[in-house]
Structure formats: structure tokens, C-alpha cells
Amino acid sequence: MFTVGLNNLSNREQWLQATLKSLPAGLTILDAGAGECPYKKWCSHLNYISQDFGQYEGTGEAGLQTGSWDNTKLDIVSDIVAIPLGDASVDVIMCTEVLEHIPNPLEALKEFQRLLKPGGFLILTSPFVSFTHFAPYHFSTGFSRFYYQHHLPLFGFQIEQMDLSGNFFDYVAQENRRIKWVADKYLGKKLNILEKIIIHLNLWVLQKYAKQDKSSQDLVCYGIHVLTRKKA
């Protein structure tokens, strides 16, 4: 059984869970672009506030879609670049897999800088490369570590931790697994036995090298997880 290309979500969730649980109890956390609030379960020791623009409904004109979406759990419905909270009003902001859905992500970083108390934490995750998803609310293909290293200090943030999830072989394997779905959806084709065998062999090669690879993350990976702090 080949597991290569299947650990994008689990890597991210393990990192988020560990990061959130490491935060001191009693802090106020804003989950910006919270969607269905999947990570509220790891914030029981925090004062949790969720925000989203609340317009995505699970269907769209192109790309990957969820099919349904629940916006009823949100505390605040607003534009992410104009959240109706006071200056320096929260201790932590979490924004996970959201930046690619914002027309101007830098405006969101500016808003986060306004909302955070001095010394407050900003938790970010985003894809390095991504297929079109949640269209029409998809504006960027992804973010490299160089994006964060350049822009975050300009908004007064100091990077505390940066985790590059997966590597070239993991990412290629993830997309290799989509061939069946893409062929069916966009070509109306079903893979034949030989084609399925070739994909299986590709996964064998990719899993072999994914385990050995320690240096291709800057070429491409699943995504980047960042813990940063607003300078006091």
C-alpha cells in the first residue's frame, strides 16, 4: 500500500494541533477565514472568535469544490481586510488555507497587524502550489517561504517557526492520484488497466524517493506552516 501523497492534510493538522495546544490558556484567538471552524476543537483553552466572509456555499464554476458548506457557526461575518474588532484586541490570529482566497493577501496581513496585541501570535498556513479550488474565490496558486520571509517583517512580524510540509515527490504523488478524477471530469475518460498500472508504478517510485529526499522542499512542497509574532 502506497501512502505517498496522502499526508498533506494530516501534516497540517498535526502542526496546527501542536501549535494551538502550546498556547497559554485564556488568550483570545481570532480564527480569520474560519469557514466551518474545523480547528475550534483545539482551542477549548482559548477564547475563540471565528470570522469569515460567509459567501462560499460549496459550489462554484470551476476546479475543486466541497459540494456543501456550513456558514452558520461564524461569530463575525465580514471582509477579512476590515474585521470589526478594535486595534490590539486579540492575542492570537489563526489564518489557515485562506491567503490564496483573498484578492490582496497583503491587505489581510496589514489588518492582522492592526488587530494583534504587541507580542501576539500569527499562525499561518497556505499551499505552496494549489489547483483552482473554491472558485470563484481563488486568486493565487500558492506561497513560498520567500513570500513570508519578505513580507512578514515589513508588517512588523518576526518569524518564530517555519515548517515546509512534504517535498517534491510527495506533491507529485498527490497530483498523480488526481489523474483518474481529472480524466473523468474533463475528458470523460475512464482509465484502462495499463494506465492504472502505470500510475501504481509511479507511486512506487515516488514513495521510494519521498522517503529519501531531504532538500527539495524549496522547489515544491504541499505547503508552508508559519508561526510568527508581532514585535512588541
Domains and CATH numbers, the chain: 8-167+220-230 (3.40.50.150)
pLDDT given at position 46: 98
CA separation for the pair 228, 156 (Å, rounded): 10
pLDDT given at position 216: 97
This prediction's pTM: 0.96
CA separation for the pair 195, 202 (Å, rounded): 11
pLDDT given at position 60: 86
pLDDT given at position 93: 98
pLDDT given at position 204: 97
Look at residue 4 and give its three-state secondary structure.
Answer: coil
Chain position carrying cell 505517498: 4
Locate all alpha helices (DSSP H) within 57-98, ordered by sequence.
Answer: none
- The pair phi, psi for residue 194, each rounded to 5°, is -60, -45
CA separation for the pair 107, 122 (Å, rounded): 15
Q: Which amino acid is at 111?
A: E
CA separation for the pair 137, 135 (Å, rounded): 5
Written as tens digits, the pLDDT of the chain (232 aa) is 899 999 999 999 999 999 999 999 999 999 999 999 999 999 999 999 999 999 999 998 889 999 999 999 999 999 999 999 999 999 999 999 999 999 999 999 999 999 999 999 999 999 999 999 999 999 999 899 999 999 999 999 999 999 999 999 999 999 999 999 999 999 999 999 999 999 999 999 999 999 999 999 999 999 999 999 999 8
